[in-house]
A and B are shown apart, each in its own frame.
Chain A
Amino acid sequence: MNDQLDQRVARFLTDHDPRTTDPGEFLRARYDAGLAWVHFPIGHGGLGLEQAHQAGVDRMFERAGAPDNKPRVNPIGLGMAAPTILAFGTEEQKDRFLRPLWTAEEVWCQLFSEPGAGSDLANVATRAVRDGTDWVVNGQKVWTSGAHNARFGILLARTDSELPKHRGLTYFVCDMTTPGVEVRPLRQITGEAEFNEVFLTDVRIPDEHRLGGVGEGWKVANATLNSERVSIGKSADRESGLVGVVARTWRERPDLRTPELHDRLLRLWIDSEVTRLAGTRLRQKLAQGQPGPEGSAMKLGFARIAQQLSGFELELLGEEGLRYSDWTMVRPGHVDFNGRDAGYRYLRAKGNSIEGGTSEILRNIVAERVLGLPAEHRTDKDIPWKESAK
């Protein structure tokens, strides 16, 4: 990290002692000082520097015991909404949304998937019809993580069904407190309801909350999805993920060990370690400004490892693996893999190869965009959306 930036952070920490400053106030001040995300422009939480400096800044704040901005509670806001707003938002939109987003005073959700449009996201049917300076939105979204805690949602809706499917979409910011937005818990495989169904009935969205041009929704959504796939989080230490939980059990419970499990554990340990290293390498590349589509490959790897490890953990536990902690329906604020039992981890990890694009779709992306293999034949590309098979 460069010295000037170093000093800037040090000075900030002297002026705002994390031990005595109110956490909310601290975070707002950090944003105003341009130390939230250094690669963002001045005035929007940044200093217009290279992203490579961010890790050093974060480390200094962490060491000083600064409050965090709840990245676990607001991953969609930080990882997806923010870069999209930065790229496509007007100055007014950036002023309105970015600061409370970064401080987690306003949490975001993603209103993309619908019952009829998951992998084929360009097929969304939720309609937005212009009415004066507003848009009137009707439709249904589904599997919306954290919608119950969210103040805003990034929303993909159809504004023209006469055009082919990719061209009739528009991207909005939906205020979740608007009348007509109804969030219903959708209980999932683990028993809890981390995601929701969202019903939109005559929801009025002012035109100022449109991100990008009318009909440009697909382009904006793709920017969001690209950000999603590269936001692989911070550099992780060895054994910091699921593998650490399993390794600890192995160390503490000699009674569970068998030779066959031993070799499998070592394979999984090595797989996790090399996948972690590949993530670190990708981050080092990104910090040097060599971004690539490799993020999709990494997500594939991480999902596979999480599923194999969590499956292994249940077998290792044997009889204990037969027992589940709690099927009570709760609506958690975030996913806590390590805070619950092995059965929960096993079931929740199944989502890793579905959320944010299924592993099949990611393989298509790697095959077509990284390896340059021929694209799938698309029958619905040039016909009006309303005439295409759904």
Chain B
Amino acid sequence: MSDLDLLYSDIEDDLRASVRDLLADRCDPDAITRLYDGDRSVVDVLWKSLTEIGMAGLLVPENRGGQGASSREVAVVLEELGRAVAPVPFLTSAVIATTLLLESESNLLALVASGDRTAALLLPWSMSPDGEIPAFDLVGESIHGTATSVAGAIEADVLLAPVRTASGLAIYAVEAAGASLDPVVSLDMTRELADVSLNHARGELVMADAESAVRRALDAGAALLASEQLGVARWCLETTVAYVKERKQFGRPVGGFQALKHRLADLYTRVETACAAARHATAALSDHDPDTSAAASIAQAFNAEVSVHAAEEAVQLHAGIGMTWEHPAHLYLKRAKASQIALGTPGRHRARLAPLIGLPS
């Protein structure tokens, strides 16, 4: 068994630098705090500038209108988006919906790849890749039903609805304008959720026998969410380390107290490990390794917890200031905690992993 490459390539490093620059420019914590106060303008502006540099079509081959990159590059972009808790539908549209569309012939793919249209798969954000898929009903030619807690729906122009048909699970594309969207107040306002109802909606059949394709799309989402979680954790660690070096109590920087040094050393160790887990899941996905589902579950089970741990430590070690609305730590905690539930909780991923590695209950 040869080892998968767990390092970053020079191309990935360059991509990281350009995405980081763009985010530093367009997505500072103040902008996100405004989003929490109801100003959604930051989302559109940011998503538009990301699509302008080709981010929406990274995973799509050039002959279908995309950049022809691999999930390795996508993972690096997600690390940066996580670092900035960027409120954009990249994971939902450019990763999950796109992975699904890649398995269809639909020319919707090219539109999504170019950023002209943004898509969302109508499933609850907590849906694990092995969960039971809640589907819409087909009544005659029209689609009926509700999907709750959908991420990326508010930003989407096209909704991909899983529909139960006589011959199995199908995917229909429905114009967002023809759906009724009920935004919910989300724990993580940087990834807003909505309940989406389709009432005699008209849709275009995108894929007939779609169940395994949907699961693969969710698997790709789970594998790559681990990189976003890594980005969240890295920001929390770095910001906290910088803070405890500055903040003085008892006449010295609090970062000099061994109790804190040891906690941060442990956190560093876990974040480095999370990096290996995320790189491994990404490499497996990009190499179409048969181990992809296991790698995704390993990374999800581990990185979701590391990211929450890092965000919780960030709040605790920033103490009073960490509990304030002005300080960005809360944005990361909310993202981390919501992402722990997204695409399957760690417990769910452990249970899914068990048979894959031959450790049945």
A residues adjacent to B (C-beta < 8 A): 235, 237-238, 247, 250-251, 257, 259, 262-263, 265-267, 269-271, 273-275, 277-278, 280-281, 284-285, 288, 294, 297-298, 300-301, 360, 362-364, 366-368, 370-376
Contact = CB atoms under 8 A, between A and B. Distances in A.
Contact of B350 (A267, A284, A298, A364): A267
Given A262-B354, A301-B273, A288 B7 contact: yes
Contact of B276 (A280, A364, A366): A280
What 4 A-B pairs come out closest when comparing CB atoms? A367-B261, A374-B256, A366-B265, A363-B265
Contacts of A267: 301, 350
A18 to B, nearest CB: 24
A278 B272 contact: yes
Contacts of A374: 245, 252-253, 255-256
B272 A294 contact: yes
A306 to B, nearest CB: 14
A308 to B, nearest CB: 14
B68 interface: no
B266 A300 contact: yes
Contacts of B262: 360, 363-364, 367
Contacts of B266: 300, 363
Contacts of A251: 358-359
Contacts of B310: none
B25 interface: no
A269 B241 CA distance: 30
B5 interface: yes
B5 A284 contact: yes
B36 interface: no
A259 B361 contact: yes
B264 A367 contact: yes
B138 interface: no
Contacts of B27: none
A278 B276 contact: yes
A266 B261 contact: no
Interface in B137-162: none
Contact of B298 (A247, A262, A274, A370): A274
A372 B264 CA distance: 11
Nearest to B5: A284
B273 A278 contact: yes
B3 A363 contact: no
Interface in B143-189: none
B237 to A, nearest CB: 8
Contacts of B6: 277, 280-281, 284
A132 B144 CA distance: 98
A247 B269 contact: no
Secondary structure at the B interface, as helix, strand, loop or mixed, is: helix
Contacts of B269: 297-298, 300-301, 366
Nearest to B256: A374
B244 interface: yes
Contacts of B256: 373-376
A354 to B, nearest CB: 16
Nearest to A365: B265
29 contacts: A237-B1, A247-B357, A247-B359, A251-B359, A262-B361, A265-B359, A266-B354, A266-B359, A274-B298, A274-B299, A274-B302, A277-B279, A278-B276, A281-B279, A284-B6, A288-B7, A297-B265, A297-B272, A363-B265, A364-B258, A368-B261, A370-B265, A372-B245, A373-B245, A373-B256, A373-B260, A374-B245, A374-B256, A375-B256
Contacts of B252: 374
B298 A250 contact: no
B269 to A, nearest CB: 4
A268 to B, nearest CB: 10
Nearest to A247: B359
B245 A281 contact: no
A288 B6 CA distance: 12
A372 B351 CA distance: 39
Interface string B300-338: 011000000000000000000000000000000000000
A263 B347 contact: yes
B274 interface: yes
B276 A274 contact: yes
A270 B274 CA distance: 11
A247 B353 CA distance: 14
B255 A373 contact: yes
Nearest to B297: A270
A238 B298 CA distance: 13
Nearest to A257: B361
A250 B261 CA distance: 37
Interface in B3-25: 3, 5-7
A369 B185 CA distance: 43
Contact of A278 (B5, B241, B275): B275
A269 B258 CA distance: 30
B302 A270 contact: yes
A33 B357 CA distance: 43
Contacts of B275: 278, 281
Given A274-B298, A297-B268, A269 B5 contact: no
B357 A269 contact: yes
Given A247-B359, A300-B265, A275 B273 contact: yes
Contact of A270 (B3, B5, B276, B350): B350
A265 B272 CA distance: 22
A210 to B, nearest CB: 35
Contacts of A270: 298, 301-302, 350, 353
Interface in B222-261: 241, 244-245, 252-253, 255-256, 258, 260-261
A266 B265 contact: no
A297 B271 CA distance: 10
Interface centre among A360, A370, A374 (most CB of B within 10 A): A374
B191 interface: no
Nearest to B279: A281
Given A300-B265, A374-B252, A277 B7 contact: no
A77 B144 CA distance: 72
A270 B241 CA distance: 27
Contacts of A300: 265-266, 269
B280 interface: yes
Nearest to A360: B262
